[in-house]
Copies of this chain bind each other. A is one copy, B any other.
Amino acid sequence: MRLRVPLDKAYRLLNHGPTVLITTAAEGHRNVMAAAWIMPLDFSPPKVALVIDKLTYSRTLLEASGELVINIPPRSMVDQTLAVGSISGRDLDKFNELGLKTMAAEKVTPPLLSNCIAWLECRLIPQPQLQQDHDLFLAEVVAASANNLVFREGRWHFGENAQRTLHHVAGGHFLQIGDEVEAKEP
């Protein structure tokens, strides 16, 4: 079941470095891309930083609307996660092409990907120079939610492999997240 994640805990959805799927929408068009270059930027209000290449259609939509959704895909979506990077949303609707089901977001226009395990709805913090020089975008998280089978009470609870987060290395090569490790209090 999808449950809201308190905004001050939203950074924990990204803190362990998963690869994500970014959805965008503007003027009746929508798109989805994969991104591994993303990190939390602040706790409260929660912010994120991410890299989006100039050549992507997602960037056109993001700069037009100022909104994005960060969707966290589980291992079961590994083929779709690779595939969204191999075709351009300028030419066709990737959601239909790849069978990606969507749900409405709470606060922004881009859709949530139904088969993902966590979602961060974001509004751009415009940084024109940074975007131009380094393809670097800052955004504020305005709503967050997660599948309570894998994230609840501020922590990930990974069980079966199919629901574990993906961590991209290069090409079609990913790692899945593994077991919990508790550090000894110093």
- The interface of chain A, by Cβ under 8 A from chain B, is 12, 15-19, 36-42, 47, 49-51, 75, 78-79, 81-83, 86-87, 130, 134-136, 138, 154-156, 158, 161, 164, 166-170, 172-186
CB < 8 Å: which of B38, B75, B83, B173 contacts A186? B83
30 pairs, A vs B, C-beta closer than 8 Å? A15-B37, A16-B17, A16-B169, A17-B17, A36-B39, A36-B40, A37-B39, A37-B41, A38-B39, A39-B50, A41-B136, A42-B134, A49-B51, A49-B136, A75-B181, A78-B181, A78-B183, A82-B184, A155-B170, A155-B173, A164-B178, A167-B167, A172-B185, A173-B182, A174-B180, A174-B182, A175-B181, A176-B179, A176-B181, A177-B177
> Do B134 and A175 touch across chains, with their CB atoms under 8 A apart?
no
With A82-B186, A156-B175, A175-B156 as known contacts, state yes or no: A167 contacts B37, CB within 8 Å: no
Given the complex, which residues of B lie within 8 Å of A130, measured CB to CB?
A: 130
13 new A-B pairs (CB below 8 Å) besides A16-B169, A175-B177, A176-B178?
A15-B36, A17-B17, A17-B36, A39-B49, A39-B51, A49-B134, A82-B183, A82-B185, A167-B167, A173-B180, A173-B182, A174-B180, A177-B177
> Do B81 and A183 touch across chains, with their CB atoms under 8 A apart?
yes
With A42-B134, A49-B49, A51-B39 as known contacts, state yes or no: A172 contacts B178, CB within 8 Å: no
Compute how far the CA of A42 lies from the CA of B130 in the bound complex, rounded to whole angstroms: 13
Number of copies of this protein chain within its complex: 2
